[in-house]
Structure formats: C-alpha cells, structure tokens
Amino acid sequence: MYLYNSATHKKEEFVTHTPNHVEMYTCGPTVYHFAHIGNLRSYIMEDVLEKALRWRGYDVNRVMNITDVGHLASDADTGEDKMLKGAKRENKSVMDIAKFYTDAFFDDCKKLNIKTPDVVQPATGLIDEFIKVVSALIDKEYAYVAGGNVYFDTSKLDRYYVFNDHDEEDLAVGVREGVEEDANKRNKNDFVLWFTKSKFEDQALKWDSPWGVGYPGWHIECSCISMKFNGEYLDLHCGGVDNAFPHHTNEIAQSEAYLGHPWCKQWFHVHHLNTNSGKMSKSKGEFLTVSLLEEKGYDPLAYRFFCLQSHYRKGLVFTWENLDNAVGAYNKLIKRVAALGGDDGAVDQGVLGACADKFGEALDNDLNTSMAVTCVYDALKADTNAATKRAIIGSYDLVLGLDLIKKADALREKEAAQAKTAGADGFTIQGEGDPAIDALVLQRAEAKKAKNFAEADRIRDELKAQGIEVTDVPGGAVWKRV
Ligand SMILES: [Zn+2]
C-alpha cells in the first residue's frame, strides 16, 4: 500500500515495524461539545484506512485518546480551556461534561459505521504515566521547570519536525499570532508538559506531582497513551490536518526524546471540511452535527458516502445541495443493489478475485476512496451472475462501511410488503405495509364483488376516518395515508 506521508511530503510504500502488523494511533476528540461533521470527516477517513489495512490482511492495533482534561499546550496558547468552557456553559462538572460528550461521540461514530478503536484511553486515567514520562524528560535534560510549570526544551533537539513547507520561524510566528508570550519559555517553540501555575486558575481536575499540584499539557497525553498501548514503535499516526503543527510536531519531540530512537514513520492527515465561507468550525455558527442531519431527514451513512466520494487530502466543500446530490446517488446505488435480488446461485471465484484486485489497487493508491466507490458501480456492470455481484459488493463494503447489502435487503423486504397479493383471484394491494389496512381494503373489494355496496361504502368511510385513501386500479387497489 502506498500512502502520502506528511512527514516526508511524498507518497511512500507503507512499511510496518513488524510484518503484517500495524500499530495505529488516532488523536481522539476533546469531549467538551458535540463533534461537528467536519471533525467526523477525519474519523470516517481514518476508519476507512483501518478497514482497508485489515482488508489487506494486516492485523491492526488501533489506539485513541479521549481528551477529558485541559486542552492546553502552553499558557500562551490561544487558550481557553475547552473542558472548563463546556462545564461553565452547561453548569455541570467537568467529569459530567466529559462523560456526556464521550458517549455522544461514540453514538455519532456508530451511526456513521465508524468502528470503535481497540483501545480508547481517557487522559484522566493515565496521569501516573504522564508524570513518569515528564520526570524522565527532566532527567534527560529535555525538560525544565520555570514559573511552576514544566516545559519541553525544543533547543535540545537535532531537528524540530514540521509537517509543511514553512520553516520553523514562520510556524512559530503563526502560532503566536494574537497571543501573549509566555515569559517562562526559554525558546519560542517550547511547550508545557505539566502545569501547576496557569492563567486558568479554576481548573477543576488537579493531581499531585513532583512539581506540585497540577495537570498535564495536551501534547504529552497522546505520546504517553501511544507509547503505553502501541509500544515503542508506532507505524501509523492519524489526525486532522489541524493537528500537524504544533500538536504532532510536539508529540514527536517528546516521544523521541524519551525513547532515544525514531518513533513513528507514517503520518496521515485528513484535510478540512469547508463551507462556502471557509473552514467549518464550532465557533462560526455553522455547527452541523449528526443529530442535526438526522433531524433534517438525512441518513448519516449518506454523509459517509459523501465523504468517500472525495480524497482525504483535498478540502471538501459542504453545501446542502452537495449533500442532496450524494443522497440521490446513494439511494440509487442501494436500489441497484436491491435489484440484484438475493444470494441465489454460485459465486464465480475468478470474477470475485479480479474485482478484488481492482478494488485493492484503489486502496493502495493513497486510499483513493472515490475510485473504490467506482468499483461498486463496475461490479454492478460486471459480466457475471447476481450472486457474484453481491459477494463482490459485500466484500468492498467491509472497507466502505455503507451497509449496501443490508440496506438493499431491507428495501426489497419493504417493497415485498407493499406489493402483496391477497385473495384467491390474485387481487393485488399496494400500500404502506400495514396488514390491518390491507385486510380492510381486501374486505371492501370482496364486498364490492358481492355487490354489497353499502358494506363497501361503510369500509371506505372507516378507512377515510383513519386517513387512508383507496384508489381502485386494474386487478387490485392502492392505498396511501393522506
Ligand atoms: Zn494527539
């Protein structure tokens, strides 16, 4: 498999430390609010990547953190403490907020067919580990105490990694823009590993440490959680492109300083979901959630389909019109799969293998999901029987996660219920799948046939009272709720 690596700025063959095994880490959510669908785009694409690796035969151990304490890298960072902000907004404790929004995040993931990682670790559950690593960084002279806080000393590194084409000077200015300088720092890029003194004095969660009562910085949690559950060699680190600098840069700095050897080779960054007016964010009033999509009648999996239609390294523009187009295409695709019928017949293994090769090529080409979706249409057109087509699509859907077979079968069942035949002479009733109404419509037809028009009218009035309109058609009747 070839993937673009943000650390080297090129597409490279994906090579793991242990053959056929992937240690994978994902930066998880800060659980102070609902995730917006822009955040969820990253998790959808990372889920496809994980499933593509498994489909390719790798054994994957995927780890994710939950940021439930602080969200600070330095007192000078653009910072409000997001968890505190959430707690104040809703007049709840920080832990209540964390629990509520962690559950909400995984509910959204479930609706979007995003698999839960093998390990999910809230930051508050691993404080001792953070203290151990920060102590070791001080012992190795990669960290220093100033003004009550512990800082990482970026000047001690041979190379301070960056993920884009700017030089460090530009990035440092970018990060400082509009933000007061933290006078305790020795170097402009230094960042806090442990706070005991902060401008956020009302921080609710604090722990004892060798440097006083305080709480961890944000970057250290990802390094520690990964090193604990993925081991010393991480194969693949994922996140939104926002996280590349300074968060991931600082994760590399800490982890490699601690371990004394290179840490993670492959970095996978998913680009933004944009609106017509720019990047989608919580603060700009364009706060779109999975619940909102559902309230408006959208199937969350249609949003997943929308995301898969474009490449993860390109910005994706969200408009309702674009989503409607994706919904139309998704529903049409399900109808075409439904039209294949059931699983009757033998699967042609030769055709199955050839299609798998093409699908694999799409995945191997830097996770080309739009090409992978095109493979589904190719399978529908393939010169083979319906059972083979269903087997191919079922296999692709292990990666795509669009529930194509499940939804197609449900659609066929619904249609079968709507077009049921009743009566000895093949009288057909087409309705909305309600057996009680079907029975009344049939009684009315039988009364008419027996020329008992008073009874037929009585039943029609009874149906009308229930809001049902019946139309006679050749050989049967159609009813609907009006
Ligand atoms: Zn992280």
Residue type at 428 in one-letter notation: T
Distance 181 CA to ligand 1 centre (A): 23
Count Cβ neighbours within 10 Å for each residue of 358-391 and write b for 16 or more, e otherwise.
bbbebbbebbbbeebbebbeebeebebbbbbbbb
The answer to whether 129 touches 209, Cβ cutoff 8 Å, is no
Return the SS3 of 403.
coil
Same domain, 308 and 368: yes
Distance 176 CA to ligand 1 centre (A): 20
> Where are any strands of DSSP class E within 407-467?
419-422, 427-430
Single residue among 363, 384, 414 that ends a domain in this structure: 414
Distance 117 CA to ligand 1 centre (A): 14
pLDDT tens for each residue of the chain, 482 residues long: 999 999 999 999 999 999 999 999 999 998 988 999 999 999 999 999 999 999 999 999 999 999 988 666 555 555 567 777 788 888 888 889 899 999 999 999 999 999 999 999 999 999 999 999 999 999 999 999 999 999 999 999 988 876 765 555 545 544 544 455 778 899 988 999 999 987 666 677 889 999 999 999 889 999 999 999 999 999 999 999 988 988 999 999 999 999 999 999 999 999 989 887 777 766 666 679 999 999 999 999 999 999 999 999 999 999 999 999 999 999 999 999 999 988 778 999 999 999 999 999 999 999 999 999 999 999 999 999 999 999 999 999 999 999 999 999 999 988 877 666 555 567 888 887 777 888 888 889 889 889 999 999 999 999 999 999 988 888 888 888 88
Q: Tell me the CATH number at 112.
A: 3.40.50.620
Number of domains in the chain: 3
Distance 222 CA to ligand 1 centre (A): 5
Q: For residue 283, is it within any domain? A: no
Cα three-residue angle 456-480-445, rounded to 5 degrees: 25
Give me the pLDDT at residue 180, please.
58
Same domain, 312 and 263: no
Cα three-residue angle 230-234-236, rounded to 5 degrees: 115
Specify the residue for token string 């049967």: 476
| Count of Cβ atoms closer than 10 Å to residue 83 Cβ | 27
Give me the pLDDT at residue 338, please.
94
Same domain, 353 and 467: no
Q: Is the dihedral of CA 125, 129, 131, 134 positive or negative?
A: negative
Closest CA to 8 of 227, 264, 254, 365: 264
Listed in sequence order, the DSSP H helices in 72-184 are 82-90, 94-111, 127-139, 168-176
Reported as a single tens digit per residue, the pLDDT across 147-173 is: 999 999 999 998 887 676 555 554 554
Q: For residue 281, is it within any domain? A: no
Distance 247 CA to ligand 1 centre (A): 6
Same domain, 204 and 350: no
d(CA 287, CA 180): 28
Distance 209 CA to ligand 1 centre (A): 22
Same domain, 226 and 328: no
Same domain, 462 and 375: no
Distance 240 CA to ligand 1 centre (A): 10
Distance 416 CA to ligand 1 centre (A): 49
Q: Parallel, antiparallel, or unpaired for β 149-152 and 143-146?
A: antiparallel
Secondary element (H or E) of residue 208: none
Distance 156 CA to ligand 1 centre (A): 22
Same domain, 437 and 405: no
Same domain, 110 and 241: yes
Single residue among 414, 434, 457 that ends a domain in this structure: 414
The answer to whether 63 touches 24, Cβ cutoff 8 Å, is yes
Distance 120 CA to ligand 1 centre (A): 13
Same domain, 265 and 314: no
| Count of Cβ atoms closer than 10 Å to residue 283 Cβ | 6
Closest CA to 395 of 339, 346, 331, 349: 349
The answer to whether 204 touches 106, Cβ cutoff 8 Å, is no
The answer to whether 238 touches 270, Cβ cutoff 8 Å, is yes
What's the chain's Rg over C-alpha atoms? 28
Distance 471 CA to ligand 1 centre (A): 61
Secondary element (H or E) of residue 373: helix 369-381
Q: For residue 40, is it within any domain? A: yes
d(CA 243, CA 268): 11
Tokens of 152: 């990482």
Distance 27 CA to ligand 1 centre (A): 4
Same domain, 179 and 221: yes
Distance 113 CA to ligand 1 centre (A): 22
Q: Residue 85's beta-bridge partner residues?
A: none
Distance 84 CA to ligand 1 centre (A): 19
d(CA 334, CA 129): 48
Distance 386 CA to ligand 1 centre (A): 45
Reported as a single tens digit per residue, the pLDDT across 306-318 is: 999 999 999 999 9
Domain that holds residue 56: 14-270
Distance 219 CA to ligand 1 centre (A): 6
Q: Residue 12 carries which DSSP code?
A: E
Distance 316 CA to ligand 1 centre (A): 23
Same domain, 113 and 229: yes
Backbone angles phi, psi at 477, to 5 degrees: -145, 150
Q: Which residues contact 324 (CB under 8 A, 6 or more apart)?
A: none
Cα three-residue angle 210-125-92, rounded to 5 degrees: 105
Cα three-residue angle 79-153-215, rounded to 5 degrees: 45
Same domain, 34 and 95: yes
Report how far apart, in Å, the C-alpha atoms of 482 and of each of 324, 464, 465 are. Answer: 25, 9, 11
Distance 167 CA to ligand 1 centre (A): 22
Q: How many CA atoms lie within 13 A of 405 on its CB side?
A: 17
Single residue among 366, 394, 414 that ends a domain in this structure: 414
Distance 301 CA to ligand 1 centre (A): 26
Q: For residue 276, is it within any domain? A: no
Distance 243 CA to ligand 1 centre (A): 7
Q: Tell me the CATH number at 394.
A: 1.20.120
Distance 385 CA to ligand 1 centre (A): 47
